């Protein structure tokens, strides 16, 4: 199967037999998982005892062989098996005098290179990009452009000739600005980098949600760990939502909308996001329209809705000072000091998170526990998944109303339900959105001052990186507060915001400053993000987004299906963009 290899163990030792166990390198402080009992060899028939097992190929494994009696360790082997490989582990006695045991790993059949489909897909998309760029360059040549226009719309060309308007000039042709020319000047002033940032995060999120080709690095970490694509996507979406809040509220109030009217819009939008998350984008709706007994209450849209409500309301109380003419002390901090009550509120929220996480007593669990439970921590706390965060969700929402299959259940074999979008983690998603809000304030205070905006993005990225280094001790597991997407730990927020500020800086420079990139194709889903996110979830199991595969154990087929589905949503968003159809709530 995918991500599996076949291991045949040949035991040439006499009775009493062997026990084979394994531990993945991705499983921190885990117990060994029993794989198989290997019978002893039959000395009379001179036939070794054999056992075959499937072993994981996603991460390096440590194999442990010990005697079935007395638990005496015979050998320990560390090896990274290859997908669809066929291996033999031969256990024999080298020396009868001192009973030295030899364990030799032999490759019977070489594994396949499961990463070739990724290379092929990359080359295909690069080819498409090259064709589009070549087409755009050709369209700048007058004879080519006139010929294309004549073929596409000959009547219009004839009309222009008859009216002596001549051939279309350069300003009428396709240019790097993706916005149609009929749009107003105000719409063209929209910061395309924000929509591009949002769209980039959304497109990758859709691809990952569809399966990511079933590659392990497109899946969430089992618990603590590195920031793979999936682990940072949602946080970047929250970050750019905070940035958009600052700009949208400023725009609404500039058009003389009262704060009470804006507050009603905030409440209504938050309500719709939460409602859509519970009713529409919820896997339990497949069980029936009234399956409330197992309805998952937390979720992505629910968290976005509540986070939006808090951060937008907080900003609404202080919007109106982003004129760039603040005359208080320390002008270099004019995007921070006027909002000191907001910072106090955010710091109080963070204190609440720290106190609940590290001081709340959790039954049968150590205080301040941040681990996954299961076989982690040497199996001492199997039912403590998530510590205080998991306990609060199970206490307030009930075990049946939270996520039943967390990522820790695969690596750490946890049995307790745990929701990565739970109550306690929402506090830090508010902090993440507030940091995005700060990026929006920077763009408002220093409007059209590109160097000021970019320098502040760099400073914030560095500050967040330093805080992350202190909290994690630059370690995956040994820090004060490890980076953990499931818990939405504060180190996860500071680390992802560090990269978010840097990524926003890069896109802002390319799209809005130098205008070397229009933001396409990510601009289009970024401007219709709610529709794309909800649509990709609702139609995930329908053709043409999904079809019956010939080989369900092929990364190539899964990758093709997931890339086609993701590309279709980009095309749909582009068509809606051309027709100026945007779904706003």
Among all residues, which ones are annotated catalytic? 220
C-alpha 14/C-alpha 259 separation (Å) is: 83
Three-state SS for 501-553 is HHHHHHHHHHHHHCCCCCCCCCHHHHCCHHHHHHHHHHCCCCCCCCCCCCCCC
**What Cα–Cα distance (Å) separates residue 189 from each residue in 103, 370, 439, 513?**
68, 46, 18, 12
Could you give the CA distance from residue 55 to residue 399 in angstroms, rounded to a whole number?
32
Q: 18-24 and 61-67 as β-strands: parallel, antiparallel, unpaired?
A: antiparallel
By the 8 A CB rule, do 201 and 233 touch? yes
DSSP 69-129: TTT-EEEEEEE-PPTT-EEEEEEEEEETTTTEEEEEEEEEEPPP-TTHHHHHHHHHHHHHH
Q: 213 is written with which tokens? A: 């080709």
Q: How far apart are CA 265 and CA 260, in angstroms?
A: 9
Distances (CA, A) of 581 to 17, 89, 577: 69, 61, 6
Q: Is 34 helix (H, G, I), strand (E, B) or coil?
A: strand
Buried b (16+ CB within 10 A) or exposed e, 95-111: eeeeeebeeeeeeeeeb
Distance CA 240, CA 508 (A): 13
């Amino acid at each position: 199967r995918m991500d599996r290899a076949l291991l045949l163990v040949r035991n040439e030792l006499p009775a009493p037999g062997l026990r084979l166990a394994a531990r993945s390198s991705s499983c921190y402080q885990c117990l060994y998982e029993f794989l198989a009992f290997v019978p002893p060899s039959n000395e009379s028939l001179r036939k070794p005892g054999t056992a075959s097992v499937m072993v994981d190929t996603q991460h390096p494994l440590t194999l442990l062989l010990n005697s079935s009696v007395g638990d005496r360790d015979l050998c320990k082997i560390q090896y990274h098996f290859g997908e669809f490989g066929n291996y033999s582990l031969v256990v024999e006695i080298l020396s009868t005098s001192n009973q030295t045991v030899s364990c030799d790993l032999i490759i019977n059949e070489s594994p396949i290179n499961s990463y070739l489909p990724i290379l092929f897909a990359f080359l295909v998309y690069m080819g498409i990009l090259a064709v589009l760029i070549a087409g755009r360059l050709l369209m700048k040549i007058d004879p080519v452009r006139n010929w294309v226009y004549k073929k596409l719309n000959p009547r219009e060309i004839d009309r222009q000739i008859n009216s002596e308007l001549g051939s279309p000039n350069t300003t009428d042709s396709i240019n790097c600005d993706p916005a149609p020319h009929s749009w107003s000047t105000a719409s063209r002033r929209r910061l395309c980098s924000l929509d591009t940032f949002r769209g980039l995060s959304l497109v990758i999120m859709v691809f990952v949600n569809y399966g990511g080709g079933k590659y392990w690095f497109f899946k969430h970490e089992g618990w603590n760990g590195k920031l793979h694509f999936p682990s940072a996507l949602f946080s970047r979406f929250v970050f750019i939502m905070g940035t958009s809040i600052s700009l949208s509220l400023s725009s609404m109030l500039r058009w003389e909308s009262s704060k009470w009217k804006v507050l009603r819009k905030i409440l209504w939008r938050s309500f719709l996001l939460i409602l859509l998350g519970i009713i529409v984008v919820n896997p339990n709706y497949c069980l029936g329209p009234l399956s409330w007994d197992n309805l998952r209450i937390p979720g992505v849209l629910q968290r976005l809705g509540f986070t939006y409500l808090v951060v937008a309301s907080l900003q609404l109380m202080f919007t109106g000072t982003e004129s760039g003419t603040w005359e208080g002390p320390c002008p270099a901090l004019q995007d921070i000091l006027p909002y000191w009550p907001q910072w106090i509120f955010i710091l109080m929220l963070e204190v609440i998170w720290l106190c609940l996480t590290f001081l709340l007593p959790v039954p049968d669990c150590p205080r301040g526990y941040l681990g996954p439970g299961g076989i982690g921590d040497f199996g001492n706390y199997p039912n403590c998944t998530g510590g205080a965060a998991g306990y609060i969700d199970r206490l307030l929402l009930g075990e049946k109303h939270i996520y039943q299959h967390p990522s820790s259940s695969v690596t750490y074999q946890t049995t307790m339900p745990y929701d990565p979008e739970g109550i306690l983690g929402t506090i830090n998603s508010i902090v993440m959105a507030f940091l995005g809000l700060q990026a929006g304030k920077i763009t408002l205070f220093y409007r059209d001052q590109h160097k000021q905006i970019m320098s502040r993005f760099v400073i914030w990225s560095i500050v967040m990186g330093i805080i992350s280094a202190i909290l994690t001790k630059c370690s995956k597991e040994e820090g004060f507060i490890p980076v953990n997407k499931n818990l939405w730990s504060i180190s996860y927020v500071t680390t992802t915001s560090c990269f978010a500020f840097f990524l926003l800086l890069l896109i802002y420079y390319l799209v809005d400053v130098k205008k070397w990139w229009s933001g396409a194709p990510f601009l289009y889903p970024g401007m219709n993000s709610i529709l794309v996110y909800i649509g990709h979830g609702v139609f995930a199991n329908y053709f043409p987004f999904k079809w019956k595969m010939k080989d369900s154990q092929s990364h190539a087929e899964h990758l093709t299906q997931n890339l086609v589905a993701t590309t279709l949503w980009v095309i749909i968003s582009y068509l809606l963009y051309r027709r100026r159809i945007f779904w706003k709530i």
